[in-house]
Structure formats: structure tokens, C-alpha cells
Amino acid sequence: MKPSNLVFALVFGLGFSVVAQADFIANEYVVKLKQSVSASSRGLLFRQISALSPRSISEQGHLILVKSDKDKFQLASLLKDVGVEYIEPNYIYKLVSMPNDPKMKGQWGIVNKKSTDINVLPVWEQMTGSPDVIVAVSDTGINSKHKDLQQNMWVNQAELNGKPGVDDDGNGFIDDVHGYHFVYPKNPGSDQNGHGTHCAGIIGAAGDNGLGVVGVNWKTNLMTAGFLSGSGSGSLEDAIKSIDYAVKMGAKVISASWGSTEYSVALGEAIDRANKAGVVFVAAAGNDGKNNDKSSFYPANYDLPNLISVAAVDSSGRKASFSNYGLKKVHVGAPGVSVLSTYGNSYANLDGTSMATPFVSGVVALMIQKNPSLTPDEIKQKIMRTVKPLKSLEGKVASGGMVNAEAAVFGQ
Ligand SMILES: [Ca+2]
Ligand SMILES: [Ca+2]
Ligand SMILES: [Ca+2]
């Protein structure tokens, strides 16, 4: 018999769940005898079932352990005359490591007593992200030297081992070791603002490295596709180049925490090219407190099957007052108030649908790790179908709730 994957959650005194996982010892069963099987008759019973090597576990609890290569139901039938109340496999309990990142207690989007976190701990019992999934951060860049990010940065090996000033892999971009920056091409692994580095940490700050924060993915492959300057603005031209670069270099998810009230056909077509290449595009709904069904905000408002528009909620599950919403145009909520992540060479708390967006991007990466054959449309629909419903998002976003990592990764 193979070990099962039954899962238990233990609640420790710290106020959050510590996760334990149970397999079981092959061919061993814990059997509860009926009260009517007295202690004095137990000797006789043990002789009757000596082939099962019985031993006592708890006299008070009427529990014995038996060994048998039969399954539970065959064993129940074998013991039916003995007086058995129930039979359980002899489960194995083990603590699955919680990440040791010291600032995790400040990350309410990951662990929150009020249960308005993204419910990623149950996912971490089985998987914690993978370098196989490339997530592009289309933003102000990523500080690729941040100690909590560097091990999760995408690496273009040809450029890493190549010559400075030379396009070693011939992809049209010089020295794109961790990705490219269309405003600072001489400094593609930098972030002159901090915003992109913050978003990157939410998706994939290194987990369980004894340092700082933990990302939705402990391990991942963060590609920088920078096009916003130090002041936080960028052109349509560079936005399109950033998206095309990410698609060309193999990103499966593009996280886009930016926008404009201007509608552009060309930008929509770039995101559609990403869709046709099987790339999910996650976009911030915007921070104007407006209804996107009635007002213009792009890229969030494009009707494309790979586009997920994200609103922000706070740690009590309220919609952030600044967050745009829209029953048609905005799809899901995620943590976006006082979000702790990597910033500069350190850490900071920031607010915005910008912060909510990479939470969803991170969950998408976990979904792809679990099931690489999901299409962008399937991922979008599954995220919306599996949300944790929130009163504050009812009638405000299409799914009526916030992203639920466990259900999105493992649910139907
Ligand atoms: Ca290159
Ligand atoms: Ca080079
Ligand atoms: Ca860390």
C-alpha cells in the first residue's frame, strides 16, 4: 500500500497554523476495540489474532495496534467478530518546515489571524515554487542584488558567462543577464525607484533563507522587464517592448502594476500576443477609487482571456478605499494595504493595487508549477472560481472575493 497524502493542520500557540503532513506506516493499523471488550479478555483476543502481531497502545482508550497487509476494509471484515469500533492507518506526522524568514510575521497577506490572507500555507505543504516558472516583472526594474531576491533572479546564462557590451545570446539585447531595462539599458539589473523590487519580493522573495520576507513562491525565476523610470513613468513604446521581451524570453506570467486612463490598440495587441504565446498577464486595477466598468484604466480594462485585473483589500478584508473596482472589468481582490516586501536593499510597507497584483502573479506561478498545461484562460477562470468570498467585494469585482492560493492550485 502506498502512503497517502492526508494532511493535518496543527494550531500552535503562536496564533497561526503550523502545518503537518501525514503519511502512514505500511501494514500497520490502530484499532479501537469496543468498550465491551474487557481488559481481562484482551489476552484471549490477542491469542486469537496473534497472526496480526497485536500490541496494546492505550488500555483506557481501548486502542491496539495490529499488523496486516490487508486494506482497512478487509481488516474490518476479518475482525468483525472481535468488537471493533474503528480502524485507522498508523499515520506518520511530521512538521513541514515553515519558512524561517524573520519578517514573515509582518506579512499579513501570507499569514493573518483574521484569515484574510491568500491561504498559501496549505500549498507550501506540497510545493513552494519552482525555477521552472519564469515570472516577468514589467515595472521599474528589480534590484537583482537584493539579498532576498538574488537567488530567485532569472539568469540568461549566455550573458552571465559572456562579454560586457556584447549581446552574447544574440537576442537583440546587450547584457540582459537578469532581464532588460528599456529606460536604463546599461543597468538592466537595477531599480531606480523601488516599486518593481517591492513587487518582485511579493512574487518570489527567497523563502526559508533566514532573511527578511518570504514570497508567495520560495523559489522562482524572476525576470526583470523594466520600462518605468526612477520617477515611475514609462512610454507606450517601452511598455510594448517590455511585454514582447518577457514573452520572447520565456516568461509564463507577466506582472504589470501600472496603468493609464488612455486606451491604446497597440498595448492591447501586445498583451494579446502574450495570450497567444500562453502567457498570463496580471494587471493592477488602479488606485483612483473608481468603477472601471465606467471609467478607463489600461491595461487592466482590456477584455482578453489572459488578463486578470486585481483590486486591493486590507488586512480586515475591506476593499481598500483607493482601489478601483468593477463587476465586469475587475476580476479578483488581493492584499494591497501595508504590504511588506523587499525595497531598495532593505524592506518597506507599501499600499496599492500594485502590491495586490504580484500576489496574484505569484499564485499563478504556483498553479503553473502544479499544472503546466493550464491555458491562461483556464488559469484566469480557476482563480475567479476559487476565491475566498468577501462581503466588501460582493458586486464590486467579478469573482466577489480575494485570491485563495490553496483552492486555486489544488481545487477544481
Ligand atoms: Ca542578449
Ligand atoms: Ca554580454
Ligand atoms: Ca527571505
Say how far apart CA 382 and CA 7 lie, in whole Å: 23
Judgement on whether residues 91 and 107 belong to the same structural domain of the protein: no
| Mean pLDDT across 17-38 | 73
**Catalytic residue at 139?**
yes
Q: State in Å: Cα 31 to ligand 2 middle.
A: 66
Residue 2 placed within a domain:
no
pLDDT in tens, 379-404: 999 999 999 999 999 999 999 999 99
Which of 354, 361, 392, 399 does the annotation list as catalytic? 354
**Catalytic residue at 354?**
yes
Assess whether pLDDT exceeds 70 at residue 316. Answer: yes
Task: Identify which ligand lies nearest to the alpha carbon of 156.
Answer: 1
Assess whether pLDDT exceeds 70 at residue 261. Answer: yes
- Using the 3D structure, point to which of 75, 95, 115 is the last residue of a domain: 95
Assess whether pLDDT exceeds 70 at residue 22. Answer: no
Give the three cell numbers for residue 255: 506582472
Q: State in Å: Cα 165 to ligand 1 middle.
A: 10
Q: Who surrounds ion ligand 3 at CB < 5 A? A: 101, 148, 205-206, 209, 211-212
Strand-pairing partners, residue 136, are 223, 254
Say how far apart CA 206 and CA 368 lie, in whole Å: 18
Q: State in Å: Cα 128 to ligand 1 middle.
A: 30
Judgement on whether residues 12 and 144 belong to the same structural domain of the protein: no
Determine contact, residues 257/353, Cβ cutoff 8 Å.
Answer: yes
Say how far apart CA 178 and CA 379 lie, in whole Å: 26
Task: Identify which ligand lies nearest to the alpha carbon of 165.
Answer: 2
pLDDT of residue 207: 97
Residue 1 placed within a domain:
no
Can you give the residue range of the structural domain that contains 61?
7-95
Assess whether pLDDT exceeds 50 at residue 371. Answer: yes
Q: State in Å: Cα 290 to ligand 2 middle.
A: 45
Assess whether pLDDT exceeds 60 at residue 8. Answer: no
Which of 195, 198, 242, 341 does the annotation list as catalytic? 195
* Pick from 187, 184, 200: nearest CA to 142: 200
* Pick from 355, 325, 360: nearest CA to 337: 355
Edge-to-edge, what's the strand order for the sheet holding 388-389? 179-181, 221-226, 134-138, 253-256, 280-284, 307-313, 332-335, 401-402, 388-389
Determine contact, residues 360/332, Cβ cutoff 8 Å.
Answer: yes
Strand-pairing partners, residue 307, are 281
CATH of the domain at 76: 3.30.70
Q: State in Å: Cα 358 to ligand 1 middle.
A: 26
Judgement on whether residues 187 and 279 belong to the same structural domain of the protein: yes
Residue 247: is it exposed, middle or buried by C-beta count within 10 angstroms (0-12/13-18/19+)?
Answer: buried
pLDDT of residue 2: 37
| Mean pLDDT across 291-313 | 97
* Pick from 133, 135, 250, 286: nearest CA to 202: 135
Task: Identify which ligand lies nearest to the alpha carbon of 170.
Answer: 1
Residue 60 placed within a domain:
yes
Assess whether pLDDT exceeds 70 at residue 266. Answer: yes
How many domains would you assign to the chain?
2
Say how far apart CA 313 and CA 334 lie, in whole Å: 6
Q: In which band, very low, low, confident or very high, does the pLDDT at 36 lie, cut at 50, 70 and 90?
A: confident
CATH of the domain at 221: 3.40.50.200
Judgement on whether residues 78 and 142 belong to the same structural domain of the protein: no
Give the three cell numbers for residue 406: 490553496
pLDDT of residue 369: 98
Q: State in Å: Cα 134 to ligand 1 middle.
A: 17
Residue 144 placed within a domain:
yes
Judgement on whether residues 52 and 140 belong to the same structural domain of the protein: no
Percent of the chain predicted with pLDDT > 70: 93
* Distance of alpha carbon 5 from the chain centroid: 20
Determine contact, residues 244/272, Cβ cutoff 8 Å.
Answer: no
**Catalytic residue at 331?**
no
Judgement on whether residues 223 and 356 belong to the same structural domain of the protein: yes
Say how far apart CA 98 and CA 113 lie, in whole Å: 16
pLDDT in tens, 86-121: 999 888 665 545 789 999 999 999 999 877 999 999
Judgement on whether residues 324 and 207 belong to the same structural domain of the protein: yes
Please tell me what DSSP assigns to residue 118.
Answer: -
**CA distances from residue 70 to 26, 32, 57, 343 in whole angstroms, order as listed:** 10, 17, 20, 57
Say how far apart CA 285 and CA 277 lie, in whole Å: 23
Determine contact, residues 124/96, Cβ cutoff 8 Å.
Answer: yes
What is this structure's pTM?
A: 0.80
pLDDT of residue 93: 65
Q: State in Å: Cα 158 to ligand 2 middle.
A: 8
Q: Who surrounds ion ligand 2 at CB < 5 A? A: 159, 162, 166, 168, 175
Q: How many CA within 13 A on the CB side of residue 128?
A: 18
Assess whether pLDDT exceeds 90 at residue 48. Answer: no
Which of 101, 117, 139, 314 does the annotation list as catalytic? 139
| Mean pLDDT across 250-271 | 96
Q: State in Å: Cα 249 to ligand 1 middle.
A: 10
